């Protein structure tokens, strides 16, 4: 095939020569709408070569997750791999990249790079200008993006998949208000407070407790920054020589450290303790009646929903509602409903 023919096809389809090459040689990285356009034009001009079937290549999807050591992200990585495995290599190839949450510039660079290599991107990221710019670049290049777990409002994306984080915090606040069985203060421990999900959980929790348990004093948030030693030190300082403690709410990592400090101060099992994610540590604490409630995000449902909505768009052009169809129901776990 002469180069001139490629140029003519690219011009008539309104795309670049590189895009035509990707479509004709089934290299991926082109939106279904653009691929169909190129193939339709190729047929119209009678291109003398065997054309690929529409959408024959397996979809190339990039998954960006946090590299922190929390159980939730480890579970997300496993669940996405399991979903992709069940769908089969002929339909989907899943590429997983772990990026530190403290490096938004690196994540933005990787997103932009993936926009030229992948059919779709599923990303856990935070509300930074560089992330907005990277997702806008994807939108300009017709690469669909689904944001995951932590909302980034106002960005160009297909939809968001995750729980309602503020609702989770409000639920924790209601459970705390109805469960406090002793007078005293309430301590809140947060992960990175510059991250939207933690802010939403804290805001929801505070609003409900102030309304439903006005007799309780809510302390200033202990910003643990997702650092276990920092969480241990801040809580130790908060409990040393303090007034009576009625409850503690943890929005992120550090349950082992928190339970150790509470035990040292003879508070473990004697104050209302609410946290997030069901895993080995929280399961054991629930079984021993040391944690009152755990709110679990359901990593499996995140993986299934995000993958399904991405494939429905790639294969049929279906666009999900920004929030409704990606909403994941969180679970309230107690010692009585452990699985």
Which is more confidently placed, 56 or 266? 266
Instruction: Return the pLDDT at 20.
Output: 84
**87 and 118 in one domain?**
yes
Indicate whether 323 belongs to any domain.
yes
Judge whether 50 lies within some domain.
Answer: no
Is residue 79, in this structure, part of any structural domain at all? yes
Domain assignment present for residue 339? The answer is no
Q: Is residue 205 scored above 90 in pLDDT? A: yes
Same domain as 191, residue 123: no
Asked whether residue 229 falls in the same domain as residue 275, the answer is: yes
Each residue's pLDDT tens digit, 283-317 = 999 999 999 999 999 999 999 999 999 999 998 88
199 lies in the same domain as 182: yes
* Owning domain of residue 304: 59-163+299-329
pLDDT value of residue 162:
97
Please, which pLDDT band fits residue 58 given cuts at 50, 70 and 90? confident
Residue positions counted in the chain: 339
Positive or negative: CA dihedral 179, 181, 184, 189: negative
Same domain for 109 and 70: yes
Q: Are residues 125 and 26 in the same domain?
A: no
Q: What is the pLDDT of residues 222-255, one digit of tens each?
A: 999 889 999 999 999 999 876 789 999 999 999 9
Please tell me whether residues 183 and 237 are part of one structural domain. yes
Question: What is the per-residue pLDDT for 242?
Answer: 67
251 and 270 belong to one structural domain? yes
Residue burial 273-301, b: 16+ Cβ < 10 Å; e: rest? bbbbbbbebbbebbeeebbbbbbbbbbbb
Tell me the average pLDDT across 92-108: 95
pLDDT at 278 over 90: yes
Asked whether the beta carbons of 101 and 195 are under 8 A apart, the reply is yes
Same-domain check for residues 179 and 254: yes
Do 63 and 22 lie in a common domain? no
H-type alpha helices, the chain: 3-13, 17-24, 32-44, 71-87, 104-115, 129-140, 165-179, 196-212, 228-239, 255-264, 280-287, 299-316
> How many structural domains compose the chain?
3
Residue 1: pLDDT band with limits 50, 70, 90: very low
Check whether residue 275 and residue 178 sit in a common domain.
yes
Structural domain includes residue 201? yes
Provide the CATH number for the domain around residue 79.
3.40.50.2300
Question: 46 in the Ramachandran plot: left (φ > 0), alpha (ψ -120 to 50) or beta?
Answer: left
Q: How far apart are CA 106 and CA 100, in angstroms?
A: 9
Structure tokens at 334: 């107690």
Phi, psi of 87 (to 5 degrees): -70, -30
Q: Which residues of 96-107 are buried (b: 16+ CB within 10 A; e: fewer)?
A: eeebebeebeeb
The region that residue 250 occupies, defined by phi over 0 for left and psi between -120 and 50 for alpha, beta otherwise, is: beta
């Amino acid at each position: 095939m002469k180069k001139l023919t490629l140029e003519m096809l690219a011009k008539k389809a309104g795309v670049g020569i590189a895009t035509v090459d990707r479509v004709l040689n089934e290299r991926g990285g082109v939106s279904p709408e653009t691929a169909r356009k190129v193939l339709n034009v190729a047929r119209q001009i009678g291109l003398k070569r065997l054309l690929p079937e529409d959408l024959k290549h397996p979809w190339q999807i990039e998954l960006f997750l946090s590299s922190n050591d929390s159980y939730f992200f480890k579970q997300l990585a496993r669940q996405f791999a399991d979903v992709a495995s069940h769908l089969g290599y002929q339909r989907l190839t899943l590429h997983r990249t772990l990026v530190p949450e403290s490096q938004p510039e690196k994540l933005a660079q990787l997103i932009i790079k993936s926009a030229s290599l992948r059919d779709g991107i599923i990303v856990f990221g935070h509300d930074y200008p560089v992330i907005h710019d990277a997702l806008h670049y994807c939108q300009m290049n017709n690469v669909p993006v689904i944001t995951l777990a932590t909302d980034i409002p106002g960005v160009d994306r297909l939809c968001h998949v995750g729980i309602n984080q503020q609702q989770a915090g409000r639920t924790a606040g209601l459970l705390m208000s109805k469960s406090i069985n002793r007078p005293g203060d309430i301590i809140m421990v947060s992960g990175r407070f510059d991250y939207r999900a933690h802010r939403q959980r804290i805001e929801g929790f505070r609003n409900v407790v102030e309304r439903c348990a006005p007799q309780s004093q809510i302390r200033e948030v202990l910003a643990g920054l997702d650092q276990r030693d920092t969480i241990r030190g801040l809580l130790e300082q908060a409990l040393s020589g303090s007034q009576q403690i009625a409850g503690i709410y943890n929005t992120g990592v550090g349950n082992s450290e928190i339970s150790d400090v509470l035990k040292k101060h003879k508070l473990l099992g004697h104050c209302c303790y609410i946290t997030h994610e069901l895993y080995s540590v929280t399961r054991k604490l629930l079984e021993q009646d040391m944690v009152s409630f755990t709110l679990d995000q359901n990593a499996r449902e995140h993986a299934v929903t995000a993958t399904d909505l991405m494939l429905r768009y790639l294969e049929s052009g279906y666009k999900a509602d920004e929030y409704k169809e990606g909403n994941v129901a969180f679970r309230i776990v107690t010692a009585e409903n452990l699985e």
